[in-house]
Structure formats: C-alpha cells, structure tokens
Amino acid sequence: MDCEAFRIWMDQAGAESVEPMPPALRQHGDTCVDCQSWQQAEAAWRRLFAAVPQASLTHSLWPGVRARLAAHAAPVASLSDELTALGRLLVPALALLVLSLAGVGWWSGPDTQPTPIDTSTFLVANPSAELAFLSQDPDTILQQWGGRETP
C-alpha cells in the first residue's frame, strides 16, 4: 500500500469509521512516519473543530432582510421619466459617435471624396426599352399582368 491509498481511505471513512480498516492499510499506517504525522494532524483538526460551539439563531433573520429590502426599493418611475433618463444616456453616446465619424472624415481629407454617379445611366440603362410600358395602352398592361382578357 502507499500513502495515497491510505489517505483516500481515511478521507472516505470520515471521523467515525463504520467499516474496519483493511489489514494492509493498517500495517501501512502503523509503519509509515508520514502517514502517522498526517493522521496526528487530522486528529488535531478534529479536536479543534469539535471544540467550536454549534452556531444557532435565536430568531429568524428573514423578516429583517425583507424590511430592509422594502425600505430600499426604488419607486416605480413613469414612462416619461424613463424616456428622459434613456435620452440622457443616449444623446451623449450619439454625439460621440457623430463627432468620431466627423473626425474620421476630416482626417481622411478632401482628396478621397467619391466621384459622383450619373443617376440617369445608373437607374435606366436603356430608356426606350425599359420605359416602353408607359406608352402602352393600360388594358394591354393589365392583360399582360393578369394573363386573361376578361375578369
């Protein structure tokens, strides 16, 4: 047997052992100086903890805790107060965001401005073909869309 197995058995057995110690562990505990000193230290700790009085409450603490929590409960604010408080938090954050984006734009300089896009060529590639439906008869458009002549 080794010291580790002896200590594991002692920890599992607890203060009052119900089952007898196996003979191999008992022989190891009687011959090993480290295990004997460990066993004496454990016995000293058990005596120390046994001398400590048990803690017991004479009354319940829960009513006092509930009273203090009720005394410090925040009053329910109205919606306008909540929105005002939210605005006080969000307005500085939004201002900081705008200023930081403006700073980025200022530091990048005027040389990096994008070239303007000609929207007439962007939106309509071929005006004669794509806007041809404007010159058609409304009934023809409805027939093409609906797929039949009579409703």
The answer to whether position 59 is within a domain reads no
| pLDDT (0 to 100) of residue 149 | 57
30: containing domain: 3-51
| pTM of this structure | 0.34
The answer to whether position 33 is within a domain reads yes
The answer to whether position 143 is within a domain reads no
Encode the chain (151 residues) as per-residue pLDDT tens digits.
Answer: 688 888 888 888 765 666 778 888 888 888 888 888 888 888 898 888 888 888 777 777 788 888 888 887 776 678 888 888 888 889 999 999 988 888 776 666 665 556 666 555 555 556 666 666 677 777 777 777 776 655 5
**Tokens for 119?**
């929207």
User: In this structure, what DSSP letter does residue 126 have?
Assistant: -
The answer to whether position 107 is within a domain reads no
* Core vs surface per residue 22-35: b (16+ CB within 10 A) or e: eeebeebbeebeeb
Give Cα separations from 29 to 23, 24, 47, 99, 105 (angstroms).
10, 9, 20, 76, 79
Q: How far apart are CA 120 and CA 126, in angstroms?
A: 10
- Count of domains observed in the chain: 1
The answer to whether position 16 is within a domain reads yes
The answer to whether position 36 is within a domain reads yes
The answer to whether position 22 is within a domain reads yes
| pLDDT (0 to 100) of residue 124 | 52
